[in-house]
Amino acid sequence: MRHTISVLVENKFGVLTRVAGLFSGRGYNIDTLNVAPTADPTASRMTIVTRGDEATLDQIVKQLNKLPDVMKVHDFREGEYVDRELVLVKVSVDSKTRTEVIQINDIFRGKVVDLQPESLTIELTGEESKIEKFLELMKGFGVLDLTRTGKVAMPRR
């Protein structure tokens, strides 16, 4: 089962290494990891997506809370949070497929950020399922390259 964990940490050198080390040292995998400063410049928020049963998740949360630079850990439950992901995807196009790719992009409310004779680079944000569906459609045209941010999340309250 996938879990989204929000970790508020002190914005200090080495914190990311300690958190990642906690996961790798105990054999837990990180599916996605996003770290950025918050409105408070002394704090950063880490959004971690991982897999495991409830016992594994409880263990992860307990271990995270023991780290010295961790201020708060929140295991998000379904419906308790808003999340988004960003993807930049470079798609192969020619004069015949360019219009079709742009039409699909418009349906998904993406943004063309680079236009070349044989490719389009598209920026798309949304929930993970939206990103996955868009990428599935783009495979038919030829995905030349892509990069994803991983999930970012905030509590609803």
Asked if CATH classification 3.30.70.260 holds for the domain at 2-76, the reply, yes or no, is yes
Comma-separated ranges of CATH 3.30.70.260 domains in the chain: 2-76
Say what the pLDDT of residue 156 is: 83
Does this model's pTM top 0.75? Answer: yes
Asked if CATH classification 3.90.960.10 holds for the domain at 82-155, the reply, yes or no, is no
Interhelix angle 15-25/54-66, rounded to 10 degrees, is: 140
Interhelix angle 98-107/128-139, rounded to 10 degrees, is: 170
Say what the pLDDT of residue 103 is: 97
pLDDT in tens, 52-65: 888 989 999 999 99
Say what the pLDDT of residue 79 is: 74
Low pLDDT (below 50) residues in the chain: none
Say what the pLDDT of residue 154 is: 87
Comma-separated ranges of CATH 3.30.70.1150 domains in the chain: 82-155
